[in-house]
Amino acid sequence: MAKRDYYEILGIDRNADQATIKKAYRNLAMQNHPDKNPEDDQAAEKMKSLNEAYAVLCDSRKRGLYDRYGHAGLEGYTPEDIFGGVDFGSLFREFGLGGFGFGFGDSIFEGFFGGRNSTGRGPRRGADLRYDLRVTLEEVAFGAEKTIELSKAEKCLACGGTGAQPDGLVDCRRCRATGQIVMEQRSGHSIIRQITVCEDCRGKGKIVKKACKECKGKGMIRKTKNIAVNIPAGADTGCSIRVEGEGEETDGFPGDLYIVLGVERHSLFERHGNDIYLQKEVSFTTATLGGQVDVPGLDGDLKLNVPEGTQTGAVFRIASEGIPCLDGHGKGDEYVVLKVVTPTNLSPREKAVLRDFETLQQTSGGDNHGEDRKG
């Protein structure tokens, strides 16, 4: 199914200002909010496209790309890039609505950094970790293998995480090794039972008498670990790579590690989605007479034919020399923006030639094809 136009979704003009965009979004969000349409199972989907349209159009950079290239202009953007700029939580509070309908997994970042899993019983999952990794444009253009050094807490191998020497663990007396304290209170005919975690052993049922020498009784050890990361070709800033089981370890399962990419600014190329833009200076004679020039590409120099009579600011597209699509299908293009350089520090002879040229132009009355016709 073709993606709908963002302006159409919000029912606004292409030149609508920010206030109009917000107002249109507010009205539609009020109408379509799933809290107000409990029987409509399409409501969440509608809300999602409204959020997406708003997130793009309220951001001048994303809107600019969308205006120029349509949905293709935002192809390289991850959901975090699209939605990340808008604080939907406070926006919805401003509208007096619940926080539903963030468009992608509700709040992707909340789950990232631990804390979420502490509500359930049983073995706790360790906190997820985030690692910000800077990569170059070349690395995301071709894909790369990188190794990161991560310092994190892991279960102490010497004591298996108990924190005690082999014979150093005794039953907790306070809870009789159950880890729980049960309190009963009689109230009339009923008995109120309250179960709390034993404070002495923190719910473990065992007390450390002789601490493990490796971890000094903590059961955990901070270790530096090298982790290999595969940067996929086509990745962009904000992309996160999940490495299962490399998060913090508590007494149960380890959390995951999220490697969040940040692509460094390139000295020559500017990236828009999967396309790259390059500014290239050409001499005044090449621009006037035409010719072939070398332009840098991601994978070495490329040839560009500059046609006769090219003006400064002219844009040329070199197909499929941009960033590959993340899904492996196709590549973006390279756009070359030409800048014609006016010659300086001319010798007297060069100046004389140019004056002759100027005279010729004036006498031919702008008819500069005279010579061609003669020959």
Site residues (CB under 5 A) for Zn ion? 156, 158-159, 172, 174-175, 198, 200-201, 212, 214-215
**Residue 60: both structure tokens together:** 């001048």
Whole-angstrom distance, CA of residue 272 vs CA of residue 279: 14
* Structural tokens at position 306: 């500059």
Q: What is the 3-state secondary structure (H, E, C) of the chain?
A: CCCCCHHHHHCCCCCCCHHHHHHHHHHHHHHHCCCCCCCCCCHHHHHHHHHHHHHHHCCHHHHHHHHHHHHHHHCCCCHHHHHCCCCHHHHHHHHCCCCCCCCCCCCCCCCCCCCHHHHCCCCCCCCCEEEEEEECHHHHHHCEEEEEEEEEEEECCCCCCCCECCCCEEECCCCCCCCEEEEEEEECCEEEEEEEECCCCCCCCEEECCECCCCCCCCEEEEEEEEEEEECCCCCCCCEEEECCCCCECCCCECCEEEEEEECCCCCEEEECCEEEEEEEEEHHHHHHCEEEEEEECCEEEEEEECCCCCCCCEEEECCCCCECCCCCCECCEEEEEEEECCCCCCHHHHHHHHHHHHHHHHCCCCCCHHHHHC
Q: Which residue has the tokens 């809870």?
A: 175
CA 124 to CA 137: how far, in whole Å?
A: 39
User: What is the rounded CA–CA span in Å between residue 112 and residue 323?
Assistant: 28
Contact assessment for residue 99 and residue 111, using Cβ atoms and an 8 Å cutoff? no
